[in-house]
Structure 1
Amino acid sequence: MHSLGDEIKGFSKNRLKKQCTRVTTLSGKRIIETWKGSLVHVVDDPDQPDGPTCGYVQDLSQDLQMGVIKPWLLLGSQDVAQDLDVLKKYKVTHILNVAYGVENVFPNEFTYRKLSILDLPETDITSYFPECFDFIDQAKQEDGVVLVHCNAGVSRAPSIIIGYLMYNEKLNFARAFSVVKNARPAVCPNPGFMEQLHKYQDSVRRQFDITHEKTD
């Protein structure tokens, strides 16, 4: 019976089978990579399909699911923000656009606030809170209905609303997240935003304690 040491000593690279990997690039081109020693040999895939292809699965379906956080506070994707019928159905009057590369479509129909925020873990999402919260409060004070949207309605816009509920409703993170998640199940802030929201909870708690002490 051979030991592991014997197996290792008897190892030879020449006994390894050549490994081929089919790769689809971002542009949709398909290539085959074959390792030969320490070098990689690249050739076009002979089974490349005719016509244009994509290096990812395109989702061309519209996301018109409106998350109703409160009767006057809504959450959605850019698709919702670009559908006038849906906006009218929910009686939207104000739109907070925190998407990147998405213009305000109906400037004559709604009151807009546009902030181009990148959906990256290193983006300081909390630095945008004051301006966003002021706009949301403005809509509320004017008896309006505000839609908060980003590109997919999954990370940036939900993070803004979670922060707003924590600040305005004095909810802890778990409760605020649950409210938003129940209203729009697709919600999933990126890891950086989640970490910032947890820290923001502590900041709000300290601020509330200070305010509470002053009013006693």
Structure 2
Amino acid sequence: MSLLAFRTQSLRCLLTVSILAPMSVSQITPTLFLSGVDAAMNKALLSHRGITLIINASPEHICPEHQGVECLRVPISDVPHAPLTDHFENVAERIHNNPTGSTLVHCSAGRSRSPALVMAYLMRYKGVTLHQAHDWVCDCRPHIRPNAGFWRQLLDYEKKLYGKNTVKMIATPLGVLPEAIVSEGDSERCLSW
């Protein structure tokens, strides 16, 4: 993909920031944000974004106590056998039914657990396929990488919702990964199909 094509693709997202930047927040929809843990601890940032619901997808980080901000804890470790699928419906419903403001979904780095939850929400409430949900989130946060177990759970969820799968898993030296992940030197990034 050329640099111009990549920049053009990134413009579709409301906000694209590097995963490596401290407190980087990626805007997925006008009222849905994705980040690592740092952003959830920044009261000024939450207030500026109108965030009234935090979904904390980690067992290792505490829910911040900010006035006017509710926190839903999803205590799932970033390991392939963790049952993230058990939380897809509840998290998607909470995001969809947050009537008082915006929602921030975070895990430790905003690369695996929280993007998987956001993709499940997009499939459930925005009517997109897993392929489209992955492209959507990658446009906004290019360095996501849900683990292989979360991908399997997302594939099962897509099949439950739509009766088919739109993402193909392939064997790589790093294990079974979706065809959307490619390595470029020492870095990895999302690739649109």
The TM-score, its normalising length taken from structure 2, stands at 0.70
1:136 paired residue among 88, 91, 95: 95
Of structures 1 and 2, the one with the larger relative CO (CA 8 A, separation 6+) is 2
Mapped partners of 1:203, 1:106: distance in 2: 36
Mapped partners of 2:22, 2:144: distance in 1: 13
Q: Is residue 98 of structure 1 aligned with residue 57 of structure 2? A: yes
Following superposition, the deviation at residue 62 of structure 1 comes to 5.8
Q: Conserved in 2, the CA contact under 8 Å of 1:100 and 1:151? A: no
1:25-71 per-position Cα deviation (integer Å, ceiling 9, x unaligned): xxxxxxxxxxxxxxxxxxxxxxxxxxxxxxxxxxxx76311111101
Which residue in the other structure is 1:170 paired with?
127
Mapped partners of 2:152, 2:94: distance in 1: 24
- Any runs of at least 4 consecutive aligned residues in structure 1 with deviations exceeding 6 A, and if so which? none
2:37 paired residue among 78, 98, 104: 78
1:183 paired residue among 136, 140, 146: 140
1:116 paired residue among 67, 75, 82: 75
Following superposition, the deviation at residue 158 of structure 1 comes to 0.4
Task: Return the letter of the residue paired with 2:72.
Answer: R
Which aligned pairs between 1:43-62 and structure 2 lie closer than 5 A?
none
Structure 1 unaligned blocks of 5 or more: 1-60, 208-216
1:149 paired residue among 78, 82, 106: 106
SS in 1 for 2:97: helix
Structure 2 unaligned blocks of 5 or more: 1-19, 165-193
Mapped partners of 1:200, 1:115: distance in 2: 18
Which residue in the other structure is 1:161 paired with?
118
Q: Conserved in 1, the CA contact under 8 Å of 2:52 and 2:100? A: no
SS in 1 for 2:72: strand
Q: Conserved in 2, the CA contact under 8 Å of 1:68 and 1:74? A: yes
SS in 1 for 2:77: coil
Aligned pairs, how many? Answer: 145
- Change in CA separation of 1:196 and 1:98 when aligned onto 2, cut-off 3 Å: same
SS in 1 for 2:163: helix
1:8-28 per-position Cα deviation (integer Å, ceiling 9, x unaligned): xxxxxxxxxxxxxxxxxxxxx
Larger Rg: 1
The TM-score, its normalising length taken from structure 1, stands at 0.63
Mapped partners of 2:156, 2:71: distance in 1: 29
Following superposition, the deviation at residue 199 of structure 1 comes to 2.1
Q: Conserved in 2, the CA contact under 8 Å of 1:98 and 1:115? A: yes
Identity among equivalent positions (%) equals 28
Which residue in the other structure is 2:84 paired with?
125
2:48 paired residue among 89, 96, 109: 89
Following superposition, the deviation at residue 108 of structure 1 comes to 2.4
- Change in CA separation of 1:127 and 1:75 when aligned onto 2, cut-off 3 Å: same
Following superposition, the deviation at residue 132 of structure 1 comes to 0.9
